[in-house]
Amino acid sequence: MTPQYQIRADYDARTIVVYQAYPPAIADAALRAGRFVAPFSFQRMTWIKPSFLWLMHRSNWARKPGQERVLAVRITREGWEQALSRAVRTTADPKALARAAVHLQWDPERSVRGAALNHYSIQVGIGRHLIRTFAEDWVVGLTDLTPQAHKAAELVRSGRAAQARRLLPAERVYPISRSLEEHLTPM
């Protein structure tokens, strides 16, 4: 049985992939530059999610207005773990949350068909005081997964969910220290 709170992600020894959905203007500029640049906002929180299926649910498979492009954002594990160590859960005291550089929440993981599962996926909000560090120091690569998302969505819609699953990024349990795990998961 899958633990209720567990980070699952595509990662290697040095990096982890998180996903974001953007309007075309932001995605195109970022892909051309190889990093986030205007019109990406450095003045507001940006949410990163290591669960591809959760983002597919959120963006309606890259069809929701303003979320038509799906980017795989490869960031350093050092940056990811720094964000996690600074995170305050969105269920915390509102004053503590208001001061936090990083917000964290757990949402029900999703199946390929969009159904809520009985375990949770993490999403992390990088606040405006840390956003430049995220964009300039942590991000090491951007990949446009929009065509893959659209193809998988079409397979799901046509009843071929097993084929769609083969298009999904490989995600496995992300190892974190016991103290960080206790910091992240609800009591």
Tell me the domain boundaries of the chain: 8-157
Tokens found for residue 18: 């998180």
Q: For 70-99, what is each residue's pLDDT tens digit?
A: 999 999 999 999 999 999 999 999 999 999
The string of pLDDT tens digits covering residues 40-50 is 999 999 999 99
Token pair 């009985």 is at which residue? 118
> Distance (Å, rounded) from C-alpha 9 to C-alpha 157?
25
pLDDT of residue 187: 63
Band of residue 13 on the pLDDT scale cut at 50, 70, 90? very high
The answer to whether residues 87 and 47 touch, using CB atoms and an 8 Å cutoff, is no
Q: How far is the C-alpha of 85 from the C-alpha of 17, rounded, in Å?
A: 18
Are 113 and 161 contacting, i.e. CB atoms less than 8 angstroms apart?
yes
